[in-house]
Amino acid sequence: MTYYFEAVTTYDKRSLREFTKYHYRHVAPALPILLLLLGAAALPLGIFQKGGLTMAVAGAVLLVFGVNLLLGRFSAGAQDAQENRIRFFDDRVEYAGRQEQGYYTYSQVIRLRENSKYFFLYVAKNRALLVEKARMTLGSPEQLRLFLREKLPQCGEEG
């Protein structure tokens, strides 16, 4: 079967950080914002309350977690770099790497987003295939964008 587009994406700390940063800034900002608000409220209460050291520490921890989510510093699961080959067929997108391989039909993609370096094809609330634009081996990012808009009408204009 013929595929139309292909990219090789390296899943490593850098790419997972990019995904985490994008995800918590643009797709799911509620968690880091909540952590920042709770931390900003708890820290001064703990500082100005007699014996409030525990609350002050908890506030500081919440602030640190919220900031780190926004900066993409909590990108779990990146021990060894792994390359994934991602191919776009007429009816599905296939991925193959050293540890796993499989495919998703376009109807399983729930969200399409992108930044300057990657396309993010969300297949679950917090899981996405990353397509590294600079490492496309067949087709261009512009062509793939048009193809995906056609294949993913369920993602709408916001992607």
Identify the weakest region by mean pLDDT among 70-74, 132-136, 154-158. Answer: 154-158
Which CATH number belongs to the domain containing residue 144 in this structure?
Answer: 2.30.29
pLDDT in tens, 121-149: 999 988 899 999 999 999 999 999 999 99
Residue 13: count of CB within 10 angstroms of its CB: 14
Instruction: Say yes or no: 88 and 148 in one domain.
Output: yes
Instruction: Say yes or no: 140 and 96 in one domain.
Output: yes
Helix (H) or strand (E) holding 59: helix 53-71
Instruction: Say yes or no: 109 and 145 in one domain.
Output: yes
pTM confidence score: 0.81
Instruction: Say yes or no: 45 and 82 in one domain.
Output: no
Range of the domain at 54: 20-71
Number of domains in the chain: 2
